[in-house]
Amino acid sequence: MGLSTLVGAAEPAVLVIHGATGDVAKRWVLPALASLAHQGLLPSRWRLVGCGRGRMSDGRFRDIAEEALREFGPPGDPARTASLLDGLRFAGGGFTVADPGELPAAVRAARADIGGDPIVVHYLGIPPAAFAETARAIAAHGLADGARVVFEKPYGTSPETFEALDGLVRATFDECQVFRIDHFLAKAPIRVLTGIRAASRVIGHLWSREHVEQVQIEVCETLDVAVRAGFYDATGAVLDMLATHLMQVLAEVVLEPPDDMAGLQKAREAALAAIRPIDPADVVLGQAAGYRDLPDVPADSTTETYAAARLWVDTDRWRGVPFVLRTGKQLAEAQQNVTLVLKEPDGKGWSNRPPETVTLALLGDGQVWLDVRVGQRSDVDAAAATRLAFDVPRATGAPPLPAYAWLMLDVLRGDQDAFPSSEALRQAWRVVDPLLRARPPVQSYVPRSWGPAEANRLAAPLRWRGSE
C-alpha cells in the first residue's frame, strides 16, 4: 500500500502563503511542505504563491525559500526539494481591501498552469493583528469562494478579541473553509490517541477515574525567548501555551471517543465544555530571573515565562480527578509529556515505589510508554519499575511526519479533525477567562530549575513526573 493511499490523497491546489518571507513561513510552513515532498505526499498538480508587502522577482523568492529550507528543512532528496519550488511565484505589493497588489493575477496564472479547478488555500503566516484585514481582502477580491483559509495562533488574545475575530471570519467563510492551527493536536501520540483508546482494551480500560489518580500535562523548555522577546512579552506563557496548546491537548485526553471519527471536533467541544473555569488560586505563575534584562523587555515587566494550573473535568469518566498542567521557559529539561498516574491497588503498601503510569511522549516522532512494576511473587516489596514503549509511527505504519507537515496535508485533503473548531476555542477561552481577570502574582525562579517551588502544591500529594 502506498503512502498516499494510507494517509489520503491531497487535491490539486494553489497554496498562497501570506507573509511568505516571515518567520512562520521559513521555520514551519516551507519545511512542512518539504517533508511532504520527500514522502511523495504533495498533490501531483500544485503551485506555491508567496505574498508579501515588498516586491521581488520569482527568482529572488525562490532563493529565500531555498535558504529557509537549508536552515530549517528536513534532510532528504535534493531533487524532491527542487520540485517543491518548481513554478513558484511571488505576489508583491501587499494585500488589502483597498489594494490587492499582485495576488489575484498570480493566483489566476497559477490556476492556469495547473489546469482544471484546483482549490486555493490561503495560509495566514502573518501577525494576528492582520488576520481581520486579510480575511476581508480575500473576500473583497473574489478569492474566498471554495477556498480554504488557515489561521495561525493566537486566534484572539481574550474572549472578547476572539469573538470579534471569529464573528468576522464566520461572516466571510463557511466553517468548513476555516482551519485554525494548533500543531499540538497533530503530534503523533495525540493524533492517534482516540484510536488507541478505542482499539486497545488495556489502555482503554485504564482511561478513567476508576484507575487514574491524577493526569499531568507538561511542556517544559530549556530555551529562553531572547530571539522574540518583544513578541513574548506581549503574550506570556498563559496565552502562548496554557490557553491554547495545553487546553486542546487536555480536551483530547478527556473527550469521549465518538462512534465515527468524523465527530472528533464535536467530541473535543463537549470535552472543553465540561472543564470548570479555572480558579486563579489553583494557578502559579513564574518569571525566569534575568528575563527583564533581555532586549525589548521592560525593566518592570510582569510577563510570566512559566505557568502551572490545576483543573477539574465534570464528566462521569473524570469527575474528581485533578488535571495538573505546567509549561515554561528555561526549565531544567526539555519535556513534552501527558502522563496518567495510576491509582495504587487497594491494600498494597507500595507508596515508597514509583507509581505506575501511562505516558504520551510528544517530542520527536512520539512514543507511548507504560511504566509498570515487575517483581517476584515472594518479594513484592522489591518490585522494580520497568518501561514498555512503542513508537507511534512504527506501530501505526504512518510516515514519521512533523506536526506541521501533517496539518498541511490535512488542509490539502480538507480534513479538519486535527483543527480546533470555533466552539472549541470559545470554550477554552471560557475556562481561562477567570485567570485573565485575576492573575496571581508572578514569582521569580532560577533559570534551568523546575520553576517556582510553590507549583509543587498543585500536584501534591504526588510529584511532577517530569521532575523525577
Spatial distance between the Cα atoms of 64 and 59, rounded to a whole number of angstroms: 9
Residue 299: all three cell numbers together: 525593566
The overall longest dimension of the chain from CA atoms, in Å, is 81
The alpha carbon torsion through 153, 154, 156, 158 (nearest 10 deg) reads 150
> CA 226, 407, 340, 279 torsion: positive or negative?
positive
Spatial distance between the Cα atoms of 211 and 229, rounded to a whole number of angstroms: 42
Buried b (16+ CB within 10 A) or exposed e, 269-284: bbbbbbbeebeeebbb
The DSSP letter of residue 28 is I
Helices (H), ranges, 98-235: 103-114, 131-140, 159-172, 188-199, 201-206, 229-233
* Catalytic-labelled residue, pool 38, 122, 183, 245: 245
List C-alpha distances in Å: 284 to 1, 62, 216, 281, 295. Answer: 50, 46, 15, 8, 25
List C-alpha distances in Å: 389 to 105, 359, 361, 403. Answer: 52, 9, 10, 21
For residue 30, which of 404, 352, 459 has the smallest C-alpha distance?
404
Residue 100: asked if its preceding bond is cis (omega within 30°), the reply is no
Spatial distance between the Cα atoms of 19 and 409, rounded to a whole number of angstroms: 20
Kindly state the helix (H) or strand (E) to which residue 67 belongs, with its residue range: helix 58-72
Annotated catalytic, 245? Answer: yes
Q: What Rg, from alpha-carbon coordinates, does the chain have?
A: 23
Catalytic residues: 245
